[in-house]
Amino acid sequence: MKPIAWHRVWAVVLRHLYNFYHSWDRIVDAFYWPSLDIIIWGLTISALTKQGQGAIIQISMVVSGIILWYVLWRGQYEITVNLLEELWSENLGNLFSSPLTLPEWTIALCALGFLKLILTIAFTALVAYFLYAVNIFHLGFALIPFIVGLLIMGWGFGLFIAGLFLRFGTNIQTLAWAGGFALMPFSATYYPLDSLPNWVQAVAHFLPSSYIFEGMRSVLLTGSFQTDMMIKSYLLNAVFLMLALAFFIRSFRLARINGLAHLK
């Protein structure tokens, strides 16, 4: 593999940071929706607890689940929406008639996911703390493998959806926002896995995220970190990321056959 030219990676990151600064849409996506989710779910669980139905579900679990969910979503979203930004602004031709390579572009999009994830987590963690006194950092060092695992899964899913965009263009652009949420019911984000229907559990066993959310609950409830769950999650993540990368690279080659500048 050829060496990465980091100045080109920075150029792509800078292009999207400029866009973030100028775009209310992107700012709302980064801060408003995650905060709204925390407020709505927090209030719902508070109400259930007051009615005596909240014994099983603790508010800290749901709120922590929301914050961690946005890790996965952010990783996926930055890859897919930033590809859409290039398609909307007809910039793909400018980018790939420059010396920028596909690995450099991909690294830049993943890096953006990481950078904005820090912003989103910091903001939502503050919202959760001030509204419900939930401190996500009570998860301690376990938070690091949880975040890394979910971010990798988000990147993998983002690359898969980006591969679809390279094949079908903006006709399916709604997947950039909605695609990630398709994984949510199967990820045991808010509820323990064994409380879900059997068929949902069957699907969940193939998703790296379900092991992470189960692991998070284990830390919150018992204080124990389930290493075996993390290993399963990371192994699945490795397989899915490789498959997603292969699909993305293949889609890019196909797009180049038809012409990158024609992609809309």
Partner 1 sequence: MDVLTVKNLHKQFGTFTAVNNVSFSIGEGEIVGLLGPNGAGKTTTIQMLLSLMSPTSGSIAFFGKSFFSHHEEILQRINTSSGYARLPWRLTVWENLNVYAYMYKVANRKEKIYSLSDRFEVLDLLPKKFQDLSAGQMTRILLVKAFLNDPEVLLLDEPTASLDPDIAEKIRNFILEERSRRNMSMLITSHNMSEVEEMCDRVVFLNHGKVFAVDTPAGLAHRNDKAELSLMIKDGLKRLVKSAIRDNFSYVEKNRFITITIPESKIAPFLLDIGKQGIEYDEIEITRPSLENFFLSVSKGAV
**Interface residue list for partner 1 (CB under 8 A):** 2, 5, 7-8, 10-12, 14-15, 18-19, 22-23, 85-86, 89-91, 93-94, 96-101, 253, 256-261
In the three-class reduction of DSSP (H, G, I as helix; E, B as strand; rest coil), residue 23 is classed as coil
In whole angstroms, how close is the CB of 95 to partner 1 at the nearest point?
A: 8
Given a contact cutoff of 8 angstroms between Cβ atoms, the answer to whether 160 and 247 are in contact is yes
* 13 vs 110: CA distance, rounded Å: 10
* 26 vs 195: CA distance, rounded Å: 35
In the three-class reduction of DSSP (H, G, I as helix; E, B as strand; rest coil), residue 1 is classed as coil
Of 128 and 255, the one with the shorter C-beta distance to partner 1 is 255
Handedness of CA 74, 72, 31, 174 (dihedral sign): positive
* 110 vs 12: CA distance, rounded Å: 11
Of 138 and 264, the one with the shorter C-beta distance to partner 1 is 264
In whole angstroms, how close is the CB of 28 to partner 1 at the nearest point?
A: 14
Residue partners of 231: CB distance under 8 A and separation at least 6: none
Of 84 and 212, the one with the shorter C-beta distance to partner 1 is 84
Of 10 and 177, the one with the shorter C-beta distance to partner 1 is 10
In whole angstroms, how close is the CB of 170 to partner 1 at the nearest point?
A: 15
**Both tokens of residue 88?**
């909307």
Of 53 and 258, the one with the shorter C-beta distance to partner 1 is 258
Residue 176 has φ and ψ, to the nearest 5°, of -60, -35
In whole angstroms, how close is the CB of 76 to partner 1 at the nearest point?
A: 21
In whole angstroms, how close is the CB of 262 to partner 1 at the nearest point?
A: 8
